[in-house]
Every structure is written in C-alpha cells, then in structure tokens.
Chain A
Amino acid sequence: EAGVAQSPRYKIIEKRQSVAFWCNPISGHATLYWYQQILGQGPKLLIQFQNNGVVDDSQLPKDRFSAERLKGVDSTLKIQPAKLEDSAVYLCASSEQLAGGNEQFFGPGTRLTVL
C-alpha cells in the first residue's frame, strides 16, 4: 500500500517569499492533517480536513497560512509571506476516518528553511 506522499522534500526561501507544499494521502482516507514540527518539539496540528471540509483550523495562522483540499483527495498548504519563525518540518498525515481517533499515517515531511 502506498504511503502518504509529500513534495517537495526540502525548500529554502527568503523571508517574505511565498511557498506551497503538496500532499497526497493514502487512498480512501477521509481525514487529512497538516502539522508543523519545529526542531526539538513535537508536531503541532495546523489544520485538519474531513473529505474536503475543514474540521479544525484553530492553530493555523490565517493571516499568512492557507490550505485547501479540493475534491477531498490531495491538499496544498501555502505560506505567504514567510517569516523566519516558519522554518520547520511540515508534515502531512491521513487517517481512515475522523471518529474513533484511529492511527494517523504520516508522510516524510517537507523541511522548510526561511532565510
């Protein structure tokens, strides 16, 4: 079974530039999550989708971050404009369903460096 795919794997940009990350979840998984993991910390949930609807985006900095999941399959996360403190690994995860809190499957992540 193919896992969660993410691209790019690495990205270096200058502050105030914009960047976009792409995620393709495991086939058939209804729920998709974006996490931010700063070095030395655990992942922090940014946004989660159930199919193509947003379930929770309470920790998404909406002045600069946006995400969409058109057609309820793959998703993009955008940062515009980037700040130095956005340097982190951005992880995408998926799970079969929202209810029940079952395990999440994570992609390899995109390591973002903002200079």
Chain B
Amino acid sequence: SQQGEEDPQALSIQEGENATMNCSYKTSINNLQWYRQNSGRGLVHLILIRSNEREKHSGRLRVTLDTSKKSSSLLITASRAADTASYFCATHNDYKLSFGAGTTVTVRA
C-alpha cells in the first residue's frame, strides 16, 4: 500500500514561477525523500529530510517536514522547462520506502 499522498495531482505553471506540492502520510517515519521522474532520466533522488529535521534546502529546492501533522512540502523556485516531471514523496520506515502517487508538474515556456 502507498503511504504518502501528494497534492495536487497535477500542476501547470509558467517558467520562472515557483511550484509547491504537498505530501501527507499516515505512520511514523525515519525520513522522507522526494524523487523526480521524467522520461529522459528515470527516477532520480532529489532530497532527503530526517524525522528530526524541519527544513532542508538543495539548490532551488526547499523541503519542509512537520511530523506533528504528518506532512511535507516541496518547493521548487524559479522553475525551468527541465523541471517538467512527476514528483514523488517517499516515506522511509521499517527499512522500506513507500511512494505516493505523485504530482505531475508541467512548466510552460
């Protein structure tokens, strides 16, 4: 079963705008990871945030984690056409990674 649920399911933005997507989950976690999937590069790890962390940055990516609300958000700033992809959150516990259904992001030129 998939633990994480992303919201929205799909997002369309103009190049240069920011994109925000959210992930909610049900059980306790060790960490939460975000992955990107596009036809060109397959599924690629973006960022990992541990359960004792609240915010993490990597380049144009910002991830927050609120364990009390069992939710996380991924912000992509100054989006580019190359950011067009599906984004998945994945929760890690019991040595397993459980993926959500993903958010499809389309960046319009």
Contact = CB atoms under 8 A, between A and B. Distances in A.
A61 interface: no
Which applies to chain A's interface (DSSP): helix, strand, loop or mixed?
A: loop
Contact of B95 (A93, A98, A103): A98
B43 A55 contact: no
B53 to A, nearest CB: 13
A18 B45 CA distance: 32
Interface of A: 33, 40-45, 48, 55-56, 91, 93, 98-99, 101-109
Count class of interface residues, chain B: 20 to 34
Contact of B2 (A33, A40, A44, A108): A44
Contacts of B44: 106
B88 A42 contact: yes
Of B88, B93, B95, B100, most buried by chain A (CB within 10 Å of CB) is B95
A102 B48 CA distance: 8
Interface of B: 2, 4, 30-31, 33, 42-45, 48, 88, 90, 92-93, 95-102
A43 to B, nearest CB: 5
A33 B45 CA distance: 15
B48 A42 contact: no
Contact of B98 (A45, A48, A91, A104): A45
Contacts of A109: 42-43
